[in-house]
Structure 1
Amino acid sequence: MTVYVDDAVWPWRGARWAHLMADTLDELHAFAQRLGIPRRAFQNKASGAHYDVDTAMRERAIALGAVAISRHRDRDLVHAVIANAKAQGRGERP
């Protein structure tokens, strides 16, 4: 099982944000807890089950073992990870 963090490309409130996603929701929640992200920050949407992380938290996630994925370099993997997150958001996967 793997936790992924995409590029920090989404500007919001003066920062750049990325998405923290995982193969399973249990792994996603456990990893977010290790980062100190409260469960209330979980976004369980049809657009994809994820946590938003800023650039600094993205770097911490990578240091803790999250796999950095790039929409530019890893297109097929990014599409697969996002498809899985969307299915999780719809309740189709654990």
Structure 2
Amino acid sequence: MILVDECRWWWRERWWCHMVSDDSLDELHVFAASIGVPERGFQGDHYDIPAHVREIAVESGAVVVTSRELVVRLRSAGLRLSPDQRRTTAAAGQIADLTSASAISIPTTGAVQPIQLDPRLHLGSSIA
């Protein structure tokens, strides 16, 4: 089951919360991808998501729980990382980001393909 807690963290001009699975990381990644959450939001055992994406998650079936309940369920599932594991995972993610950024190649020929954006994920949107 996908769980989200209350938005309690203010960062980059918006409120953020956590999204986890109490079943598996595979379930979490599939759900996150289905609502358009970028992989860079994954923090080793949870995704950090802004309030407007939390609404989309809840509309898509995520269950709202307290932060305490979220951690209890994550631990019970054996998916909670220790602080040391989270630091190691975060450092590895930063290295992977740098590696992939340096490997980006931009084609200079060929047709430009349009992309489709989900307007619900617009970074400037806010909750009324």
TM-score surpassing 0.5? Answer: yes
- Matched to 1:38, the amino acid is P
- Who is 1:35 aligned against? 35
SS of the counterpart of 1:31?
helix
Between Structure 1 and Structure 2, how many residues are aligned? Answer: 81
- Who is 2:46 aligned against? 50
Change (3 A) 1:67 1:54: same
The offset of 1:38, in angstroms, is 1.9
More strand by share: 1
Tell me, yes or no, if the aligned pair for 1:15 and 1:54 is still in contact at 8 Å: yes
**Structure 2 CA distance for aligned equivalents of residues 17 and 41 of structure 1:** 11
1:37-85 Cα distance to aligned partner (Å, 9 max, x none): 12232111xxxx11111111001100000000124xxx4x334124244
Q: TM-score, normalised by structure 1?
A: 0.74
- Matched to 1:37, the amino acid is V
**Structure 2 CA distance for aligned equivalents of residues 82 and 14 of structure 1:** 28
Percent identity of paired positions between Structure 1 and Structure 2 = 37
Change (3 A) 1:88 1:28: farther
The offset of 1:22, in angstroms, is 0.3
- Who is 2:103 aligned against? none
Structure 2 unmatched runs, 5+: 86-128
**Structure 2 CA distance for aligned equivalents of residues 88 and 30 of structure 1:** 23
SS of the counterpart of 1:28?
helix
SS of the counterpart of 1:65?
coil
- Who is 1:59 aligned against? 55
Higher Rg of the two aligned structures: 2
Change (3 A) 1:29 1:88: farther
Structure 1 unmatched runs, 5+: none
Over the residues paired in the alignment, what is the CA RMSD in angstroms? 2.1
SS of the counterpart of 1:32?
helix
SS of the counterpart of 2:80?
helix
